């Protein structure tokens, strides 16, 4: 009997420690489940926000293409946020001078951009579509060349492609000066929306025929603000 009585406090101690450990484990499981649920909710919110961004951008690009009178059948990269300008009306080989049909095309595009784009930036206007939202981070005017080597006065295809992008931006802003004043949708950065870049022949659309005229083009790439 005396041995049983002496063992009882030790048994009670181990039982209490076991209960405590089980309690901590139970609390940990509850916290882990709560974290997983919260993470899933935030993930769903980000996914929904991304879908809304994609929808808003698609609406914008379709409206610009239609208003500018561009051929929708030639806009194969529209779902990637890219409006592709017709190479047959903009530039000849080894040239950054607009062809006769290039300037009217860019003027129509400038008017379309000025009418539609502000609704998707910080510089919003009153008459905006119901589903529009400030989603744009930048519109990059991207110059490209085919694989043919640039000749004088150009140093190389990089310089030529950048000159083409610059020429397009100049024409757009000269036609609609307001385009040069648009700010992106990021509350913190507040930087100009329009930018330029040159890619030479590094981003061919017709890889089987690098010298094809389709590779000698200018793209407008619409990028969206990062989700937070």
In a domain, 51, yes or no: no
In a domain, 53, yes or no: no
pLDDT (tens digit per residue) in 156-167: 999 999 999 999
User: Of 70 and 18, which is predicted with more confidence?
Assistant: 70
Residues 6+ apart with CB under 8 A from 214: 87, 205, 206
In a domain, 145, yes or no: yes
CATH of the domain at 89: 3.30.1330.60
Question: What is the model's pLDDT at position 1?
Answer: 47
| pLDDT over 50 at 126, yes or no | yes
In a domain, 210, yes or no: yes
In a domain, 100, yes or no: yes
In a domain, 3, yes or no: no
- Residue 111: closest CA among 55, 31, 174, 44: 174
| Alpha-carbon gap, residue 158 to 43, rounded angstroms | 40
In a domain, 38, yes or no: no
Produce one character per residue of 120-132: b if its CB has 16 or more CB atoms within 10 Å, e if not. bbbbeeeeeeeeb
pLDDT (tens digit per residue) in 134-163: 889 999 999 999 999 999 999 999 999 999
| pLDDT over 70 at 68, yes or no | yes
pLDDT (tens digit per residue) in 96-121: 999 988 999 999 999 999 999 998 88
Give the residue numbers spanning the domain of 73.
Answer: 61-224
In a domain, 211, yes or no: yes
Residues 143/147/148/150 CA torsion (nearest 10 deg) = 40
Cα distances (Å, whole numbers) of residue 149 to 1, 107, 109? 103, 30, 29
Residues 6+ apart with CB under 8 A from 219: 77, 82, 83, 84, 85, 141, 142, 144
Number of structural domains the chain divides into: 1
């Amino acid at each position: 009997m005396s041995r049983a009585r002496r063992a009882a406090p030790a048994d009670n101690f181990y039982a209490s420690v076991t209960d405590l450990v089980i309690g901590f484990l139970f609390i940990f499981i509850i916290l882990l489940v709560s974290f997983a649920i919260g993470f899933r909710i935030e993930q769903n919110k980000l996914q929904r926000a991304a879908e809304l961004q994609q929808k808003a951008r698609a609406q914008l690009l379709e409206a610009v293409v239609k208003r500018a009178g561009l051929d929708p059948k030639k806009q194969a990269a529209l779902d990637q946020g890219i409006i592709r300008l017709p190479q047959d009306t903009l530039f000849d080989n080894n040239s950054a001078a607009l062809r006769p049909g290039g300037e009217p095309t860019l003027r129509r595009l400038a008017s379309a951009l000025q009418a539609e784009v502000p609704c998707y930036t910080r510089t919003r206007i009153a008459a905006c579509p119901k589903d529009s939202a400030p989603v744009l981070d930048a519109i990059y005017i991207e110059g490209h060349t085919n694989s043919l080597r640039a000749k004088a006065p150009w140093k190389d295809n990089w310089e030529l492609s950048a000159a083409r992008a610059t020429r397009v931006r100049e024409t757009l802003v000269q036609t609609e000066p307001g385009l040069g004043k648009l700010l992106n949708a990021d509350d913190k950065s507040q930087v100009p929306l329009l930018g330029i870049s040159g890619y030479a022949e590094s981003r061919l659309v017709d890889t089987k025929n690098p010298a094809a005229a389709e590779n000698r083009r200018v793209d407008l790439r619409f990028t969206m603000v990062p989700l937070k």
